[in-house]
């Protein structure tokens, strides 16, 4: 039994050490103050701009499709009403 507890304690200590090591790596990365190269910044801005344009187009297209569906539903509603009244 004692060896099992020793093993569990050893595993727990190794897990804690591993977590601390990982958190130290994250802190080291977040403390980096180096500026990214200008071309990387420009490319990121260009990518974000083009992504925004693409998404805006997709949303506008979706909105137009919903408007068309709404118009079609209104026409069909009127046609069904006429058919029911006959």
pLDDT per residue over 25-82, tens digit each?
655 555 667 899 999 999 999 999 999 999 999 999 999 999 999 999 999 999 998 8
pTM listed for this prediction? 0.50
Residue 34: C-alpha distances to residues 25, 27, 28, 30, 37 (Å):
16, 15, 12, 10, 9
User: In residues, how long is the chain?
Assistant: 86
Distance of alpha carbon 16 from the chain centroid: 30
> What SS3 state is found at 15?
helix
Token pair recorded at residue 8: 């569990």
Give the pLDDT score at 70: 98
| Domains in the chain: boundaries | 1-32, 35-86
């Amino acid at each position: 039994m004692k060896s099992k507890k020793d093993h569990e304690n050893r595993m727990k200590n190794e897990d804690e050490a591993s977590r601390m090591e990982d958190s130290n790596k994250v802190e080291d990365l977040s403390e980096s103050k180096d500026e990214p190269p200008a071309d990387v910044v420009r490319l990121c801005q260009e990518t974000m701009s083009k992504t925004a344009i693409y998404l805006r187009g997709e949303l506008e297209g979706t909105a137009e499709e919903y408007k068309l569906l709404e118009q079609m539903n209104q026409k069909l509603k009127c046609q069904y009403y006429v058919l029911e009244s006959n």
